[in-house]
Chain A
Amino acid sequence: MNELFQQFDVWGAFWLTIKLAAFSLVGAMVIGTIVAIMRVSPVAMFRFVGAAYVNIIRNTPLTLILTFTIFVMLYDLGINLADEASPTSIADNGVRWAIVGLAVYHAAFVCEAIRSGINTVPPGQAEAARSLGLTFTQNLTNVVLPQALRGAITPLASVTIALIKNTTVAAAIGVAETAALMSSAIELRADLNYVTFALVAGFFIIVTLPIGIGLTSLSRRMAVKR
């Protein structure tokens, strides 16, 4: 175990995984909420765009999306997210594009989680709010969304945990996170295979288990009793 820590930047890889997960989770929540609002909005065009986003992104493998960010967005279209001249431009671009890719992908699942939460709100409430003269925006921000988010905590917890584990796909585009660390360790220290597996599995359990337990208890406390 100690040899692994001496030879490889284990903490660096763990930290990068956490950063990837945190930033892309924030991005996914923002995009996902916007798309969810589009999907329930009274404007048919918004509903169509929202549905198209969810159906296209949700049915595209994450590996493909991440490869697409580097090969098409960065190489073909030349959209740089890092200073081109810096000696670490490739690594920086990899991390930033990975965050974008992860956020865009998981936003589709966040959207559906929130939409399921919206479905828990009895339609009578939205109708009552509308009959009181509230606009769509007021209705959404004051009546529907606060209840919907509370009802969506459990599915959102699943999305969060899936997102944390999916950060490992970023190794495919050269982001030095935990899965990349595991690749190096298995390649260079075949004698420590099982230790490496145990270490990586342990890391993910330590990160995801508390989130699962915490959010489940939160969902119980926050649930709107009807």
Chain B
Amino acid sequence: MITRRIGAAAFTLVLAAGLAACGSDDGGGDDGAGGGAGGESIKVGIKFDQPGLGLKEGNTYTGFDVDVANYVAKELGKTDVQFVQAPSKQREDLIATGQVDLIFATYSITDERKQKVSFAGPYFIAGQDLLVATDSTIKGPKDLDGKKLCSVTGSTSADNVKKEVPGVNLQEFDTYSKCAEAVSKGQLDALTTDDTILAGYAAQDQYKGTLKVVGAPFSEERYGVGLKKGDTALCEDVNKALTKMVEDGAWDKAVEANFGPAGFKVDAKTNPPKLDACS
């Protein structure tokens, strides 16, 4: 009897600890149950570690995703934008559980993801590309045979490149930073992921002049705005804001401000992208 009671107590304790670990985030203030228009504050999921797209330095957030998110939030009538870190693997759950209202985090629109979340946008079309040393002879995925390539464990890019070049010698790390470091030291030949992310690394001070983006994209990554599945009203509001952003030139300005310094040429054939219909 006593043992059972102790067991039950221990179980609830573990459960509570687990829940506490999941639930609270630095967000503060009101909890969950967001979405839709009306409130003053909005919680936006972004990447915290991708220079040029979503980067947190101290208390300031910079990058293309951040600029678009700020513009859209203003158009939605939200004055207080709270940024929440949205690592790739947690994006669907952050939306489903209401911890964020919108996600701007290099979130490619795919059919599999559409089963769990809805997408507004796309607001940008990127392509998978290669980051190599400035004196490298690699011109595209065809030159990768027998070369040592780097990507992130379990990422879309790693999956793509395995299909594109089946015999590639692929090193996978848990972060792109480790890859960039290994490529800049000449230990690996190339790093592959979306050209936007690569441009961010090429533009970082420590890699300036040593790394370059090849500029031969071999996939199409359509960055969408993730939101709660089936919230078409919010989706349409976001799309309206995105359309306005392109029309009044703020989109171009954001592209120029974030990708310009990296010398990254935006593919004008696909950008600015045509928006998908909300569903």
Q: Is the CB of B169 within 8 A of A88?
A: yes
Contact count band on B:
20 to 34
CA of A94 to CA of B171, assembled, Å = 8
Q: B172's contact among A174, A188, A190, by CB below 8 Å, is which? A: A174
Query: With a CB–CB cut-off of 8 A, which chain A residues contact B171?
Result: 90, 94, 174
Q: In the complex, A186 Cα to B112 Cα: how many Å?
A: 10
Complex: how many Å from CA A193 to CA B118? 16
Proximity bits, A53-96, B CB within 8 Å = 1, else 0: 00000000000000100010001000000000001111100100
The answer, yes or no, to whether A161 is at the interface (CB within 8 Å) is: no
Chain B residues closer than 8 Å to A91, beta-carbon distance: 169-170
Q: In this complex, what residue of B is CB-closest to A67? A: B178
A188's nearest neighbour on chain B, judged by CB, is B159
Q: How far is the CB of A96 from chain B (nearest CB, A)?
A: 14
B156 interface residue (CB < 8 Å to A): yes
**Residue of A67, A180, A188, A189 most packed against chain B (CB within 10 A):** A188
Contacts of B181 in A (CB 8 A): 71
Shortest distance between the CB of B82 and any CB in chain A (Å): 24
Assess whether A193 is in contact with B93, with CB atoms less than 8 Å apart. yes
Q: List chain B residues, Cβ under 8 A from A88.
A: 169
Contact B153 A183 (CB under 8 A): yes
Chain B 89-110, CB-CB to A under 8 Å as 1, else 0, gives 1011100000000000000000
Contact B153 A90 (CB under 8 A): no
A94 and B169 alpha carbons, distance in the complex (Å) = 12
Determine the chain B residues whose CB is within 8 A of the CB of A153 once the complex forms.
none
Tell me, rounded to whole Å, the shortest Cβ–Cβ distance linking A200 to chain B: 12
Q: A87-B146, A188-B159, A191-B112 are in contact. Are A172 and B153 (CB under 8 A)?
A: yes
Task: Specify the chain B residue showing the minimal Cβ separation from A85.
Answer: B146
Give the residue of A87, A188, A190 whose beta carbon is less than 8 angstroms from that of B116. Answer: A190
Interface of A, secondary structure class, is helix
Q: Do A174 and B153 have beta carbons less than 8 Å apart?
A: yes
Question: B117 contacts which chain A residues (CB < 8 A)?
Answer: 190
Interface secondary structure of B, over-half rule: mixed
Interface residues of A in 171-210 (CB under 8 A from B): 171-174, 180-191, 193
**8 A Cβ contacts from B157-196 to A:** 158-159, 167, 169-174, 178, 181-182, 185, 187
Quote the shortest CB–CB distance from B150 to chain A (angstroms).
9
In the complex, are the beta carbons of B113 and A87 less than 8 A apart? no
Q: Are B182 and A75 in contact (CB under 8 A)?
A: yes
With A90-B170, A91-B170 given, is the CB distance from A180 to B113 under 8 Å? Answer: no
How many whole Å from B49's CB to the nearest CB in chain A? 15
CB-CB < 8 A to A185: which residues of B?
A: 154
Q: Is B115 an interface residue (CB 8 A)?
A: yes
CB distance from A121 to the nearest CB of B (A): 32
Nearest B residue to A63 via CB reads B174
Q: Across the two chains, which residue of chain A brings its CB closest to B172?
A: A174
1/0 per residue, CB under 8 A from B, across A105-134: the answer is 000000000000000000000000000000
Whether A186 pairs with B154 at a CB distance below 8 angstroms is yes
Q: Is the CB of B178 within 8 A of A187?
A: no
Given A174-B172, A186-B89, A187-B88: A180 and B154 within 8 A (CB)? yes
Of B112, B153, B178, which one neighbours A190 at CB under 8 angstroms?
B112
Chain A: minimal CB distance from B88 (Å): 6
Q: 14 A-B Cβ contacts within 8 A?
A: A67-B178, A87-B169, A171-B154, A171-B174, A174-B172, A174-B173, A183-B154, A185-B154, A186-B154, A187-B154, A187-B156, A187-B159, A188-B112, A191-B113
